[in-house]
């Protein structure tokens, strides 16, 4: 019996069964609170949807005979890569920002990953990879990561609920883009509206659709959304949103924290990224069934 993302192997680019790695990611529940549905991908093995893409990329590394991978991350991706790589015998060299949260840094320190806290994680990771002739896996551009992310929407489609709106916590926008791509692959004509939610610290995508917010120079408490760079696939992401008649919203810190308390008071123990999406779902004028993608659980 296939486990984790490999339940959907027929919908993904082929990885031979002998190389398919899984920690039983996926198969996360959809719950309902008030009139909003929440896809609990924070219940994945390392606490985020990143596990889906990582399971595929680690499998690809095994297939290719790669022994070492270089990554850059604000935290969640590094945690996922580190846990999966350790499980399946691959070395990870991670470049993370100097201001990485202590909580995430401590989790990484409990793995075999080599951690480099630097000023420019992406540039320094790329330089290290080139000098040492190893693969640099950047979540926002790596095709293997994108492939694994497709399984989230495949799970959603298995439910008996038709969703008119799906809200994503967005930094690089890769999950939103992969969702659009699998909907295209399946020739689904009437697609849900894809909606990007960002914080006041990183508004690269949201500012194409909304105004009126006050930009912040202080990193967000939703730390995985703090990559303050123009997404590599910016144009593709904007087009995916527009082609689904989607939109975006910027949520400030006060509303993120307030919503996190509301959800936790009702035994929905999700992280700040999810809280931002839930607030947006209640604040926007959305009709039909609405799904929030939950990720980045508080540890």
Q: Domain for residue 299, yes or no? A: no
CATH number of domain containing 31 = 3.40.50.1100
> 101 and 229, same structural domain?
no
> 123 and 257, same structural domain?
no
The Cα–Cα gap between 43 and 33 comes to 17
- Start-to-end CA distance of the chain, whole Å, equals 31
> 129 and 162, same structural domain?
no
Q: How many distinct structural domains can be found in the chain?
A: 2
- Please give the model's pTM, rounded to 2 decimal places: 0.94
Which of 121, 137, 153 marks a domain boundary?
137
* Domain around 82: 52-137
> 148 and 227, same structural domain?
yes
> 29 and 163, same structural domain?
yes
Contact predicate 294/166, CB 8 Å: no
| pLDDT tens digits, one per residue of 38-78 | 999 999 999 999 999 999 999 999 999 999 999 999 888 99
Q: Which residues of the chain have pLDDT under 50?
A: 299
Q: How many CB atoms lie within 10 A of CB 283?
A: 12
Which of 137, 164, 184 marks a domain boundary?
137
What confidence score (pLDDT) does residue 99 get? 87
> 270 and 196, same structural domain?
yes
> 237 and 93, same structural domain?
no
Q: Domain for residue 234, yes or no? A: yes
What confidence score (pLDDT) does residue 1 get? 60
Compute φ and ψ for 251, nearest 5 degrees.
-115, 135
| pLDDT tens digits, one per residue of 75-110 | 889 999 999 999 999 999 999 999 888 888 999 999
> 148 and 100, same structural domain?
no
What confidence score (pLDDT) does residue 229 get? 81
Q: Domain for residue 78, yes or no? A: yes
């Amino acid at each position: 019996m296939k486990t984790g993302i490999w339940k959907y192997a027929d919908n993904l680019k082929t990885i031979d069964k002998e190389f398919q790695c899984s920690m039983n990611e996926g198969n996360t529940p959809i719950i309902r609170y008030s009139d909003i549905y929440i896809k609990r991908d924070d219940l994945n093995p390392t606490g985020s949807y990143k596990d889906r893409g990582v399971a595929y990329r680690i499998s690809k590394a095994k297939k290719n005979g790669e022994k070492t991978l270089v990554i850059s991350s604000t935290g969640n991706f590094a945690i996922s890569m580190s846990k999966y790589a350790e499980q399946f015998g691959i070395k990870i060299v991670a470049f993370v920002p100097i201001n990485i949260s202590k909580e995430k840094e401590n989790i990484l320190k409990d793995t075999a990953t080599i951690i480099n806290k630097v000023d420019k994680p992406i540039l320094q990771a790329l330089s290290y990879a080139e000098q040492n002739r190893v693969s640099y896996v950047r979540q926002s551009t790596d095709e293997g990561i994108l492939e694994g992310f497709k399984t989230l929407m495949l799970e959603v489609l298995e439910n008996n609920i038709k969703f008119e709106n799906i809200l994503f916590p967005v930094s690089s926008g890769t999950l939103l883009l992969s969702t659009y791509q699998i909907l295209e692959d399946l020739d689904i004509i009437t697609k849900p509206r894809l909606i990007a939610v960002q914080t006041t610290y990183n508004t690269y995508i949201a500012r194409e659709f909304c105004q009126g917010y006050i930009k912040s120079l202080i990193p967000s408490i939703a730390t995985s959304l703090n990559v303050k760079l123009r997404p590599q696939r910016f144009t593709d992401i904007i087009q995916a949103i527009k082609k689904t008649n989607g939109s975006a919203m910027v949520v400030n810190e006060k509303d993120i924290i307030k919503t996190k308390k509301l959800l936790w008071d009702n035994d929905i123990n999700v992280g700040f990224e999810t809280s931002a999406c839930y607030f947006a779902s209640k604040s926007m004028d959305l009709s039909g069934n609405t799904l929030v993608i939950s990720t980045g659980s508080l540890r």
